[in-house]
Structure 1
Amino acid sequence: MLSEQRYAMILELLKERHSISVIELTELLNISESTARRDITALDKAGKLVKVFGGAVAADNTFLALEPTVAQKTEVQKEEKLRIAKYAASLIEPEDFVYLDAGTTTGYMLEFLEKTSATFVTNAVAHAQRLAADGTRVFLIGGELKSSTEAVVGSEAVISLKEYHFTKGFFGTNGISKTNGFTTPDVNEALVKKTAVEQCQKVFILGDSSKFHLVSSVTFSSFHGKKILTDRIPDEYREISDIIVC
Structure 2
Amino acid sequence: MLTEQRYEIILKLLEEKRSITVTELKDILNTSESTVRRDITALDKAGRLTKVFGGAVVLERKVTAYEPTVAQKSELNKKEKEKIAEYAASLIKADDFVYLDAGTTTGLILDYLEGTKASFVTNAVSHAQRLAKMGIHVFLIGGELKSSTEAVVGSQAIKMLSMYHFTKGFFGTNGITKREGFTTPDTNEALVKEKAVRQCRDAYVLADCSKFGQVSSVTFEEFAHMHILTEKIPEEYQECGNVLKVE
Is the aligned partner of 1:168 residue 2:168? yes
Where 1:164 maps in the other structure, the secondary structure is coil
8 A contact 2:175–2:213 mirrored in 1 = yes
TM-score, scaled to structure 2:
0.75
Is the aligned partner of 1:90 residue 2:90? yes
Pair member with larger Rg: 1
Match of 1:188 in 2: 188
Deviation at 1:75, TM superposition (A): 1.1
Where 1:168 maps in the other structure, the secondary structure is strand
> How far apart, CA to CA, are the structure 1 residues paired with 2:225 and 2:68?
28
Deviation at 1:60, TM superposition (A): 3.4
Deviation at 1:114, TM superposition (A): 2.6
> How far apart, CA to CA, are the structure 2 residues paired with 1:195 and 1:243?
22
The unaligned stretches of length 5 or more in structure 2 are 1-58
Where 2:142 maps in the other structure, the secondary structure is coil
Cα deviation code 1:44-101 (max 9, x no counterpart): xxxxxxxxxxxxxxx9313222000001111101010000000000000000000000
Q: Which amino acid aligns with 1:120?
A: F
> How far apart, CA to CA, are the structure 2 residues paired with 1:194 and 1:242?
18
Where 2:215 maps in the other structure, the secondary structure is strand
Where 1:224 maps in the other structure, the secondary structure is helix
Where 2:145 maps in the other structure, the secondary structure is strand
Q: CA RMSD in A?
A: 0.9
> How far apart, CA to CA, are the structure 2 residues paired with 1:244 and 1:237?
10
> How far apart, CA to CA, are the structure 2 residues paired with 1:234 and 1:184?
20
Match of 1:51 in 2: none
Match of 2:218 in 1: 218
8 A contact 2:114–2:134 mirrored in 1 = no
Deviation at 1:162, TM superposition (A): 0.5
Pairs within 5 Å for 1:5-16:
none
TM-score, scaled to structure 1:
0.75
Aligned pair count reads 188
> How far apart, CA to CA, are the structure 2 residues paired with 1:241 and 1:155?
34
Cα deviation code 1:89-147 (max 9, x no counterpart): 00000000000000000000001113111100000000000000000000000000000
> How far apart, CA to CA, are the structure 2 residues paired with 1:60 and 1:123?
32
Where 2:224 maps in the other structure, the secondary structure is coil
Pairs within 5 Å for 1:206-245:
206-245=206-245
Give aligned-pair identity as a percent.
64
Match of 2:120 in 1: 120
> How far apart, CA to CA, are the structure 2 residues paired with 1:64 and 1:109?
27
